Structure 1
Amino acid sequence: MSPRTATRTLLAGGLAALVAAATLTIAGSAQAATLLADDFTDDAGPVLRQGGTSANARAVAGDPGWTDYTVAVRVKPTAFNGSDRFVAVLARVASTTSYYYLALRSSDRVELKRLVGGSSTTLASASLPVDTGTWYTLRLTVAGTTLTGQVDGGPTLTATDTRYVSGGVGVATFNASANVDDVVVSTIDPVPTPTGPPTTGPPTSPPPVAGDRPNGFASVDALGQAGTTGGTGGPVVTATNTTDFLSYIDTIGPLVIQVRGTIQISSKKGVRPNKTIVGLGDDAEITGGGLDFYRSYNVIVRNIHFTDAEDDAINVGQESHHIWIDHNTFSGAVDGSIDVVRGADYVTISWNHFDHADKSMLISHSDGAGSTDTGKLKVSIHHNFFDHSRQRHPRVRFAEPVHVYNNYFLDNELYGVASTENAGVLVEGNYFENVPFPIFSASGYADSGPGRAVQRANIFVDSGVPETTGSVVEPRTYYPYQLDPAADVPALVRAGAGAGMLG
């Protein structure tokens, strides 16, 4: 999502009361999981703005009876008047001088704090680079006596405190100017434990049905997110035309978006957090363009035919996390079918059909991306059908671990898996058939330097010798999984991968 032009000003040195009926819209019973949402497009302008740095400002809203919830907000500091100033999100606001808050400080720290009568106490803190002119997403969760704060993909802060049990929400600045956008307050729903594949009886991994949770990295609790649940708890809507579809994916708050028929789009369209996009039947299609994730999170994309994208069909980028791409079919993209780049993390790509695609999957976009990608880009790739697709299954830089398991590689003209630029890739339980170069690692690929790759329990039929080197972090340190026998993979994947195959 592009940063928006700032137009609205908070009252410096005082309180700007945002009335729910006017500027912060409280959802009705059809959106019970969303208590409040505002993108500030309804009246004076598209962001809330504190214009000066010479005083403090607060804006509050909501119900004093709210107890357990998460408040999320995008903030962009524009100037700090000093070395230890901050912008913050507030929760359980008892008064304008008493609440919990998560503060993003100019001293390159994030702090979880309690304010009582204007006197603050730090409950938890961590180092975090803070730059003016950069958008950050702040999330503060209050659940019973437990407080959790998180900024983008940064550290998660937790603390226990009994001072406040209920109250509304807000934003604040301390000798700082900032733009504020996309305020969302959501109730806290229990998250089902992700279900792994059965452990007995061949075959061990029947195709998942529509209500399943992901396996692999998208199931991991991290970065303030309890696995990947998409739009669970939000309204269910159906898109049958381009206008409605683009409106739905740009909606704030959880939403289950059913796609019926063909949606024609151009370029790549941004998807906001907490969405499930799922095709109805076996012919739901997005054609001409693709989906773009920019600092988004908790999104599920299933059962869609992606055809003839003029660039990438799906781009997971800019620190997006907890994305599950499952049971889709990709064909005809001018560039990649799926890219996972620019610090994205905790992604699962499962049961997809790459039908004669050219560039199937890229993990890290360039040899110069080490500063943003090292330590991130954790991706699980399982039970996909790389069907006469030419290359990038995937091509990886910097990421570790990337877990490539139980996929069917058939007639891949250039290569199967390429690990470069010191990436760490585990390739196991796959079936390679007529693949001249199943795995590159020690020699690098093209202009990219060597990476690391471990292979085990794979089957190679009429294929070249895999090139492996080094060691790789075990995915089991993050999540449990059960391998299917590689010999069963072609039948399993042919029967279950792609759009139209969900039970």
Structure 2
Amino acid sequence: MTLAGGVAALVALLAGAAVPAARAAVHEAPAAQAPAAQASAAVRAAAAAHVSADGPVGFATVDALGRNGTTGGAGGPVVTVTTAAQLEDYVGRRGPYIIRVSGRIAIDDMITVVADKSVLGVGSTAEITGGGLQLGSTTRPGNNVIIRNIRFTGASDDSVSVTNKAHHVWIDHNDFSGGYDGLLDIKRESDFVTVSWNRFHHHSKTLLLGHSDNYTADVGKLRVTYHHNFFDGTDQRHPRVRFAEPVHVLNNYYRNNALYGVASTENAGVLMEGNYFENVAHPVYVGYDKSGPGRVVERNNRYVNSGTPQTAGTVVEPRTYYAYTVDDPGSVPAIVTAGAGVGKIGL
């Protein structure tokens, strides 16, 4: 069973109700959705326990570019780091490593993570602050990398940058806030990425997908799944997309996003599916600022005290690449707040 399907089935079972069938997008008043956001503690705890037991869903699982899924540092030495020097040393070494980040590590720039690494926070207090992680350089690829269970704060540039043709990356159960530029940017021909169960807050430019309007080398790349993330009061870019197709935005919780939810530009193809928007005046834009229009298909989303999404054209189906199940969008606030962020998985 896929992660999304397992959580939906578990929540429905504990709540004593069947999972509703998929429906067309609806626009409802806030009161109509109150029960979904106030699920019992037992349901929330069970949902959180379930997400900890599953692996990646989406593009990080696809067999492509010489890799069958994303395994990170599996099979390599397990090390624990507590300083910036140790972190930079191990993430830059050749070969697989499982790197456990313990406590708060202050860095002052971007540290390059090279291929076949798992960077995993220990417990609920692992933090990287002041700088960020860059997956790959022009000479050392950042393929097959996993980043989980880490709090990223106050980065001087991006908190995490997936770049320079990095592929097969899984970024899961992290907490991002207060960076200078993007919290999580994916660009420069990177591909086959899953971004799941993260909490983003206290920031404006959240997720960029695609380097610039002029960087057409991204066409045919940047295939990313964003699922079960919590965009908690962040302003914009959830994500802002150029050129990529398909981009699968699945079962995310958008709350109080001041500027907009998602922007599809420069002929990108984005499928918006099973998401929950609360107090978001502009859930989806087709084209944004000086960037030309993209394409958006939306289905089975909820818009509570929110505007009407813009849509256009058709998009390649993610099922062309992988199987998945959509959670009932009405359950998304409870499921996501229970399961997203750090300290929810046993690392």
Task: Indicate the residue corresponding to 2:22 in structure 1.
Answer: none
Number of matched pairs: 308
Q: Tell me the TM-score normalised to structure 1 length.
A: 0.60
Would you say 1:206 and 2:52 are equivalent positions? no
The structure-2 alpha-carbon separation of the partners of 1:194 and 1:492, relative to structure 1 and needing over 3 Å to count, comes to closer
Deviation at 1:241, TM superposition (A): 1.2
> Matches of 1:279 and 1:494 in 2, distance apart?
19
Q: In structure 1, which of residues 314, 328, 334 is the aligned counterpart of residue 160 of structure 2?
A: 314
Deviation at 1:413, TM superposition (A): 0.3
Would you say 1:395 and 2:236 are equivalent positions? no
Q: In structure 2, which of residues 93, 97, 101 is the aligned counterpart of residue 259 of structure 1?
A: 101
Task: Indicate the residue corresponding to 2:60 in structure 1.
Answer: 218
Give the secondary-structure state (helix, strand or coil) at the position aligned to 1:476: helix
- Taking the TM superposition and a 5 Å limit, the aligned residue runs for 1:363-382 are 363-370=209-216, 372-382=217-227
Give 1 or 2: higher strand fraction.
1
Deviation at 1:500, TM superposition (A): 1.3
CA displacement, residues 262-319 of structure 1 (integer Å, 9 cap, x when unaligned): 1111121100110000100101000000000122110000000000000000000111
CA displacement, residues 464-496 of structure 1 (integer Å, 9 cap, x when unaligned): 110001000000000000111000000011111
**One-letter code of the match for 2:249?**
V
Task: Indicate the residue corresponding to 2:282 in structure 1.
Answer: 437
> Matches of 1:362 and 1:309 in 2, distance apart?
16
Give 1 or 2: higher helix fraction.
2
- Taking the TM superposition and a 5 Å limit, the aligned residue runs for 1:83-482 are 197-198=5-6, 200-203=9-12, 206-207=47-48, 212-294=54-136, 295-370=141-216, 372-441=217-286, 444-482=287-325
Task: Indicate the residue corresponding to 2:336 in structure 1.
Answer: 493
Give the secondary-structure state (helix, strand or coil) at the position aligned to 2:108: coil
Deviation at 1:201, TM superposition (A): 4.6
Task: Indicate the residue corresponding to 2:42 in structure 1.
Answer: none
Report if the CA contact (8 A) 1:324-1:347 is conserved.
yes
Q: Percent identity?
A: 55
Report if the CA contact (8 A) 1:213-1:229 is conserved.
no
Deviation at 1:206, TM superposition (A): 3.5
Deviation at 1:501, TM superposition (A): 1.4
The structure-2 alpha-carbon separation of the partners of 1:210 and 1:278, relative to structure 1 and needing over 3 Å to count, comes to farther
Deviation at 1:326, TM superposition (A): 0.2
Report if the CA contact (8 A) 2:209-2:241 is conserved.
yes
Report if the CA contact (8 A) 2:5-2:327 is conserved.
no
> Matches of 1:493 and 1:450 in 2, distance apart?
30
The answer for unaligned runs of 5 or more in structure 1 is 1-192
CA displacement, residues 123-162 of structure 1 (integer Å, 9 cap, x when unaligned): xxxxxxxxxxxxxxxxxxxxxxxxxxxxxxxxxxxxxxxx
Structure 1 outlier segments of 4+, above 6 Å: 193-196
**One-letter code of the match for 2:340?**
A
Q: Tell me the TM-score normalised to structure 2 length.
A: 0.86
Deviation at 1:195, TM superposition (A): 6.9
The structure-2 alpha-carbon separation of the partners of 1:388 and 1:368, relative to structure 1 and needing over 3 Å to count, comes to same
> Matches of 1:452 and 1:403 in 2, distance apart?
12
> Matches of 1:373 and 1:222 in 2, distance apart?
17
> Matches of 2:282 and 2:229 in 1, distance apart?
18
Instruction: Give the number of the structure whose alpha-carbon radius of gyration is greater.
Output: 1
Report if the CA contact (8 A) 2:4-2:327 is conserved.
no
- Taking the TM superposition and a 5 Å limit, the aligned residue runs for 1:7-46 are none
Report if the CA contact (8 A) 1:194-1:219 is conserved.
no
Report if the CA contact (8 A) 2:3-2:51 is conserved.
no
Report if the CA contact (8 A) 1:232-1:276 is conserved.
yes
> Matches of 1:206 and 1:256 in 2, distance apart?
27
> Matches of 2:79 and 2:2 in 1, distance apart?
25
Task: Indicate the residue corresponding to 2:39 in structure 1.
Answer: none
Which is bigger in relative contact order (C-alpha 8 A, separation at least 6)? 2
Would you say 1:484 and 2:293 are equivalent positions? no
RMSD: 1.7
**One-letter code of the match for 2:161?**
N
Report if the CA contact (8 A) 2:10-2:47 is conserved.
no
